[in-house]
Structure 1
């Protein structure tokens, strides 16, 4: 067995398998809540008052056979004994009739309580007890899931981050190609990881030294962070001294610095800043804020897993087969791919997440359909940029939650028009400015039969998807929306993999490149998808976490307070907003940037007379332009991450004009840049 096989096998056992189990646990815990709700409803339908049967009921302590006459006499006698004192206090003498009525009501209530108790005891049949046991077990599973969600997130982040370090899979401006690249990158990674470890230890000691009581749960979170960063530091230190033999000699320091992962750069900047201001625990504190949005970050991991499972299916190939008979020019096919990708992007909530989840599929399908590398890379990087303004994008929901000036209905309503605008601009750039091939479609008489045949091949997949969605809708009363999508999509993809395992077992099919391949089966498909998922999750979530820390630097440095709190001219304010928002899009993830903008930039915009809905539409488009803009261009880095360095290098070596050589960068910039200018400044004409 080769060393590569051993390494892969060890990775599957110590990284991929635990990550797969943890992700399945997240889906199980979230689904168990829906199951429990339905169990409570069914219990109430079968046994009226089931909510009272969920717990053992103690018998009433009152006496239903109480002697009313004796009780009345005793009450009047007690009042007679207190006669002098009552007179002194000015009490009114009780009417014997009132005393009797009161005791009669008390006895009646007692008898009703005993009757209700007996009725519940009669209802508590063995069937009810068995059902109750299952329902309470599901309730315990839900409680366990809610309590363990933050623990799962830390374990997933650290486990996958260690995997990304050991496999050299972190997101950087360029890959490690020389020994100098490797040494500089791993040295700075080790320093940054040690800085994360030290900050977490100091944060723990500060928490213990505070006067506030520290819960066992909080201490467990501290210990998990410390353990994880210790493992990450050891992993980078191990890689530092295990230099791969395939690296070239030589190299330059400038290029080596570009091979440093982005999370490392963010950590060094924020750690140095917090250290200089005497707040060494700052990184640990801001990473701890991830726990407040643990469900969101776990959803990111689920979306990446879904994308990698999608890569193992034939679904994307079959969808592109619908358009292939028309012999669309590559530019038009790229437009179709970007427009179709807007819908799943709206569910994932951020373009970067979609690129890393499904970018490899889009790129391979565009290349298989004849698109040149530069165009395929441009479309892949931009595949998630159009859907962030569409319902039910979670990012828009977060904006409405943090800003009372806007509602989701208003934002999604105007988001449709922004989507139409960006789609038109991308189509215009692709077909007019960017077109390098002849526009000749296949005759309809020739294309339609093949298209219909391709659609028939999709019908079983549609049936599987509809079956899962309807099962959740009818059996669990769960609709497909931005809140349920993270737990529905993994189930849908697993169902598709099961369907392919059954329908393609022992058969071969053609992949995206048209090559004949044998179906690898369910277990191997899930295993391969999870292997690809672990490193991607580690690279992405660690980057998202450190961008929160960079947001803390911006917040604590009071950088935004150096700008005027309002402008007399909305045009001047908008110009400044556009610049700031694009820069934030370059250096921060979408969710962290929205939180920072809500607390700082938004108030300046409102005070300058910019309408809140207009401002947030500009913000979303500006963020997307930032993710596509050098020098960082995060969506391009994520594209390279999923398609491979070899494809990007091959694209850079292609000849042609300046535009053709840099089409993957220039084309998205033109499309989104023009869209941003129109969204930002045209509405000001109507103020």
Structure 2
């Protein structure tokens, strides 16, 4: 779980520099589409009918000086058409000279108009138009190249980052590798799983080539990239298997060693074994290939992680917390504030796990610096992304509305506000009442408000930088800040903030008390990308294999064992809650939504559960699943970003049972109560 190897050898740019270039390419290609739209509008404003000038006009082949009288005489003499000899024989085919003349005159007129339009377009093709057109067509080609290369970028990014995560021992597991037995068991199973992925991809390639359907060059290239990537991943895990670090403890227990196996490995072994047993060895490769259908979504995940790691390199989070410090809030209240503030960026990232990976380390460090105990800080970090998934403009909600015609985004976001208020209230009540260890003694308003207001001043330049980027996109490219534009705007915003800090903080001869010297722009971007590379590899590989687990659930027809409709909406809701929480434990949000849409949703609708109510329950149930043992993905991601040492230190702390497990129990109480209320209270008003 700890990074090493590449960073200690000073070779981190060998993996992070290509990853940085790939992520920048994604931003460039998506932004070029906006630029191209504005160029088309600008061309139309500068030259009316510019869309006709985008290509060289072709001279018409017709004759504009055609002799009408001769053409009429020729047409009348032609008689009946050759393909209708019977009409000519019977004399039934007679031509009206007036109609013939009218048709020929129209034809000549259209020809003359076409020639006139051609000459007019030729006159409009000035050197300025040709120069502008060359740039505009280049941008259009760049967009086409970016769209075609999006899937290639995703495969290369996943494989590059997965190899990095393997070499740096940064995959997501239930516990860290502490002993030699942990290490050997983990990397042995990783090697087997990676070889299984390689074999499945190779079999999928061969079956595709042997099918009756022709395989395009693009599909063949994707097959080859998957195979090369999994071959490199297998070699990386094999290399790690035979390079056992010397700082590991001797001994160990086999049961604990299995907990050190990465989750993606467990998912791969389960799905690979199942597909092999049913004679479908290419199953994992097929379901991984389905990632390509949502390539833009998975690339956005990588961009969000990169944004979070760049945020960690800035002073922005510290300055935001400085606004609340003068009030001397008890740690429990500050944790609630942190979770509430985190809801807004979570709504833009679209999934709680992504936000924990992206900003969890910042939240945890700031809460600890403000005096929060470890368990409380860990609980708040794990739950920091759980409240905002129901708020506009969360991409997960957009996906739900896209896949389900029974609901709209306006309806879901409208009710999502009330769900957010409920979950936030529950977390606040639990944090402030259960195991509260601090006195509720806020600083006097006359003392705290001026200090808090002064703390807002350093945030003003950041607000101006953010507003500047948003306004440039809004007025120069006609792009609003929403769920569709956020993935390409946020990286630009964070890069602009890093540039601002580089320029402003470098001017200072000495840092402020308690503040480290600014590392510089290059080191900040490099540090953020180094963290991003391993995190993307761990997260995207896990998301990809969860899609494969979804395939196992789909092909095993487990859902067919349940009734397709219930007589009671209450009984159906009880089953829905259990199933949805379990799915939240083992699958990523987007893959789970696709699976639920195809299976559970129809049962809920048939049982009398309102579609909007069902999907609100689904979102809350997923979040409870991400916080629930034995997997508790958000807690695993929290440990991933804050470090194993902090979690172990928290586990060694004494106290009551609740105090020893507060980081797990507190989120479960808050989200559990919220889920019960969201699931069953609305039934009182419409269920019969």
TM-score normalised according to structure 1 size? 0.97
1:321-368 Cα offsets, whole Å, 9 max, x none, are 111111111111100110010111111110000000000111111111
For the 8 Å contact 1:331–1:434, the answer to whether it is kept is no
| Alpha-carbon distance between aligned partners in 1 of 2:330 and 2:400, rounded to the nearest angstrom | 38
For the 8 Å contact 1:64–1:107, the answer to whether it is kept is yes
What displacement does 1:680 show?
Answer: 0.8
What is aligned with 1:13? 13
What displacement does 1:423 show?
Answer: 0.5
Tell me the SS of whatever aligns to 1:250.
Answer: coil
| Alpha-carbon distance between aligned partners in 1 of 2:239 and 2:625, rounded to the nearest angstrom | 35
| Alpha-carbon distance between aligned partners in 2 of 1:329 and 1:257, rounded to the nearest angstrom | 40
Deviates more, 1:301-310 or 1:4-13: 4-13
State the superposition RMSD in angstroms.
1.7
What displacement does 1:176 show?
Answer: 0.3
| Alpha-carbon distance between aligned partners in 1 of 2:534 and 2:85, rounded to the nearest angstrom | 86
What is aligned with 1:328? 329
1:351-395 Cα offsets, whole Å, 9 max, x none, are 000000000111111111111111110000000000011111111
What is aligned with 1:41? 41
1:567-587 Cα offsets, whole Å, 9 max, x none, are 112111111111111111000
| Alpha-carbon distance between aligned partners in 1 of 2:621 and 2:80, rounded to the nearest angstrom | 85
Number of aligned positions between the proteins: 683
What is aligned with 1:517? 516
What is aligned with 2:373? 372
What is aligned with 1:68? 68
For the 8 Å contact 1:509–1:519, the answer to whether it is kept is no
1:643-676 Cα offsets, whole Å, 9 max, x none, are 0001111111122221111111010000000000
Deviates more, 1:520-529 or 1:600-609: 600-609
For the 8 Å contact 1:53–1:124, the answer to whether it is kept is yes
**Is 1:50 the equivalent of 2:50?**
yes
| Alpha-carbon distance between aligned partners in 2 of 1:53 and 1:171, rounded to the nearest angstrom | 55
| Alpha-carbon distance between aligned partners in 2 of 1:327 and 1:89, rounded to the nearest angstrom | 107
| Alpha-carbon distance between aligned partners in 1 of 2:47 and 2:252, rounded to the nearest angstrom | 76
What displacement does 1:91 show?
Answer: 4.1
What is aligned with 1:214? 215
**Is 1:273 the equivalent of 2:274?**
yes
| Alpha-carbon distance between aligned partners in 1 of 2:184 and 2:99, rounded to the nearest angstrom | 93
For the 8 Å contact 1:472–1:478, the answer to whether it is kept is yes
1:91-148 Cα offsets, whole Å, 9 max, x none, are 4422223222222222221111111111111110000000000000000000000000
| Alpha-carbon distance between aligned partners in 1 of 2:286 and 2:464, rounded to the nearest angstrom | 47
| Alpha-carbon distance between aligned partners in 1 of 2:511 and 2:370, rounded to the nearest angstrom | 14
What displacement does 1:79 show?
Answer: 3.1
What is aligned with 1:600? 599
1:507-533 Cα offsets, whole Å, 9 max, x none, are 37879xx73211111111101000000
| Alpha-carbon distance between aligned partners in 2 of 1:528 and 1:509, rounded to the nearest angstrom | 22
What displacement does 1:625 show?
Answer: 0.3
Tell me the SS of whatever aligns to 1:481.
Answer: coil
| Alpha-carbon distance between aligned partners in 2 of 1:301 and 1:190, rounded to the nearest angstrom | 25
Tell me the SS of whatever aligns to 1:152.
Answer: helix
Matches within 5 A, 1:448-597: 448-507=449-508, 515-597=514-596
| Alpha-carbon distance between aligned partners in 1 of 2:120 and 2:322, rounded to the nearest angstrom | 65
| Alpha-carbon distance between aligned partners in 2 of 1:217 and 1:425, rounded to the nearest angstrom | 50
What displacement does 1:565 show?
Answer: 1.4
What displacement does 1:64 show?
Answer: 1.4
What is aligned with 2:623? 624
Tell me the SS of whatever aligns to 1:614.
Answer: helix
Q: 1:5 to 1:604 in 2, by over 3 A?
A: closer
For the 8 Å contact 2:180–2:244, the answer to whether it is kept is yes
What is aligned with 2:235? 234
Tell me the SS of whatever aligns to 1:504.
Answer: helix
What is aligned with 1:115? 116
For the 8 Å contact 1:35–1:476, the answer to whether it is kept is yes
For the 8 Å contact 2:4–2:168, the answer to whether it is kept is no
What is aligned with 2:153? 152
What displacement does 1:35 show?
Answer: 0.5
Deviates more, 1:514-523 or 1:655-664: 514-523
| Alpha-carbon distance between aligned partners in 1 of 2:582 and 2:216, rounded to the nearest angstrom | 40
What displacement does 1:506 show?
Answer: 4.1
1:406-439 Cα offsets, whole Å, 9 max, x none, are 1111111111110000010000001111311011
Matches within 5 A, 1:122-161: 122-161=123-162
| Alpha-carbon distance between aligned partners in 2 of 1:117 and 1:9, rounded to the nearest angstrom | 65
What is aligned with 1:684? 683
What is aligned with 1:644? 643
For the 8 Å contact 1:304–1:533, the answer to whether it is kept is yes
- In the alignment, structure 1 segments of 5+ residues that lack a partner are none
What is aligned with 1:25? 25
What displacement does 1:9 show?
Answer: 5.6
| Alpha-carbon distance between aligned partners in 2 of 1:490 and 1:682, rounded to the nearest angstrom | 41
What is aligned with 1:410? 411
| Alpha-carbon distance between aligned partners in 2 of 1:492 and 1:624, rounded to the nearest angstrom | 28
1:152-195 Cα offsets, whole Å, 9 max, x none, are 00000000000000000000000000000000000000000000
For the 8 Å contact 1:509–1:517, the answer to whether it is kept is no
Tell me the SS of whatever aligns to 2:516.
Answer: strand
Matches within 5 A, 1:268-307: 268-307=269-308
1:51-95 Cα offsets, whole Å, 9 max, x none, are 110001111111112222222222223239989975325544222
What is aligned with 1:423? 424
What is aligned with 2:652? 653
Q: 1:80 to 1:238 in 2, by over 3 A?
A: closer
Q: 1:80 to 1:418 in 2, by over 3 A?
A: closer
Deviates more, 1:361-370 or 1:501-510: 501-510
Tell me the SS of whatever aligns to 2:261.
Answer: coil
| Alpha-carbon distance between aligned partners in 1 of 2:176 and 2:582, rounded to the nearest angstrom | 24
For the 8 Å contact 2:5–2:167, the answer to whether it is kept is no
Matches within 5 A, 1:369-408: 369-408=370-409
For the 8 Å contact 1:566–1:608, the answer to whether it is kept is yes
**Is 1:183 the equivalent of 2:184?**
yes
What is aligned with 1:201? 202
For the 8 Å contact 1:29–1:142, the answer to whether it is kept is yes
1:261-289 Cα offsets, whole Å, 9 max, x none, are 00000000000111111111110011110
Q: 1:73 to 1:295 in 2, by over 3 A?
A: same
What displacement does 1:405 show?
Answer: 1.3
For the 8 Å contact 2:4–2:169, the answer to whether it is kept is no
- In the alignment, structure 2 segments of 5+ residues that lack a partner are none
